[in-house]
Amino acid sequence: MRYSQLNSRNGHAPDYVIPICTFFLVIFGLIMLASASSDLGQAKFGYSYFYLKHQIIFGLSLGIAGIWFGSKFYYKHYQGVAPFLLLISIAMLLLVFTKLGVTSGGAARWLNLGPLTFQPSELLKITFIVYIAAWLSGKAYRQKSFWGGFVPFLIISGLVALLLILQPSTSVAAILIMTALIIYFTSGAKFSYIISTIILGILALLVISYLTPYRWERIKSFLDPSQNTQTSSYQLNQSLIAIGSGGLWGVGFGKSTTKLRYLPQPIEDSIFAIIAEELGFIGSILLILTFVVLAVRIFLLSKKIPDDFGKLLLIGFGSLIAIQTFIHIGAISGILPLTGVPLPYISYGGTALAIFMTISGIIINISKYT
């Protein structure tokens, strides 16, 4: 393909797998939210579909706008404004600690924007990946130089992680750092830099967890779920009971017995347990396979895109989706410590849904130029 064709803003027809997978996940998520939130909505607001209505109005509507804009806006334009976009996200992260911030459950993660609340850490998932991809594109010395590449990478990644941990939102910090490492590695960084960052990250995470009792309790509960079954291990044990109750085919849509009285966060951090209980092993596997197809397709597209920026963007977005999905399912299944990570496209949260749909839109736009 000629260079002029590659730079045409019209491109060719977009990849069809990305929108199909996205459409399936979003619709599936709304259907499961209707079930998982019905008892909770009735108990808290006297309206079974309160959470579903809120997700459609503030999540799906913005997500449709996001996927449309992302698919139409030429992806290379992000490269030039990447630092500005990241600065906006960092400023918004700082604002959550001001009067504009909304604190819930001891965490300051939201901004009050009149009729709705916005979670800046979700926007950061786009802007941070865009920035890292732009920073590494066409600059081979940053992959090999200690002072010109490795140290600046640690500084910017450390700053972002620190702001997230202070909220606290440790899980988002871990997901973004892992994603950044994958982008850094695939761009050609020295293997020793990657290993050093991993070691530093693990040590920092252990120290932070040890200094904050609730995080340390989560690790202890993961190592021995039979201890503290009514406190720190309660959510994990109830999740495992829900998953086990589903069996092969599930107890049936809308028939979960754990979603109101027993399982904490059934529409957010624990929604996969509800899916496994109601739809069983078969339904869970079909959902997981959809995520696998989506992630694999994104990585395959990254091999076809001719420019570094597009390639690294696809690797970053594909890694983000894969890592967050794995952590959510792994944590709720007892494979990983509980982290409070929502399931992409599925869990309740308008900001998260809108952001992931926008990510799908950007991927669709990039696919036009493979």
Q: What is the pLDDT along the chain (370 residues), one digit of tens a residue?
A: 333 344 456 778 899 999 999 999 999 999 999 999 998 898 889 889 999 999 999 899 999 999 999 999 999 999 999 999 999 999 999 988 887 777 766 666 778 777 777 889 999 999 999 999 999 997 776 778 888 888 999 999 999 999 998 888 888 999 999 999 999 999 988 888 889 889 988 888 888 877 777 777 777 777 766 666 665 678 888 888 999 999 999 999 989 888 877 788 889 889 999 999 999 999 999 999 999 999 999 999 999 999 999 999 999 999 999 999 999 999 999 888 877 789 999 999 999 999 999 999 999 999 999 8
Model pLDDT, residue 314:
98
Model pLDDT, residue 228:
61
Q: Residue 215: which of 232, 237, 195, 239 has the closest Cα?
A: 232
Model pLDDT, residue 55:
95
Model pLDDT, residue 117:
78
Question: What are the angstrom distances between the C-alpha of 176 and each of 123, 129, 227, 283?
Answer: 12, 8, 31, 29
Model pLDDT, residue 226:
64
SS (H, E, C) the chain: CCHHHHCCCCCCCCCCHHHHHHHHHHHHHHHHHHHHCHHHHHHHHCCCCHHHHHHHHHHHHHHHHHHHHHHHCCCCHHHHHHHHHHHHHHHHHHHCCCCCEEEECCEEEEEEECCEEECHHHHHHHHHHHHHHHHHCCCCHHHHCHHHHHHHHHHHHHHHHHHHHHCCCHHHHHHHHHHHHHHHHHCCCCHHHHHHHHHHHHHHHHHHHHHCHHHHHHHHHHHCCCCCCCCCCHHHHHHHHHHHHHCCCCCCCCCCCCCCCCCCCCCCCCHHHHHHHHHHHHHHHHHHHHHHHHHHHHHHHHHHCCCHHHHHHHHHHHHHHHHHHHHHHHHHCCCCCCCCCCCCCCCCCHHHHHHHHHHHHHHHHHHCCC
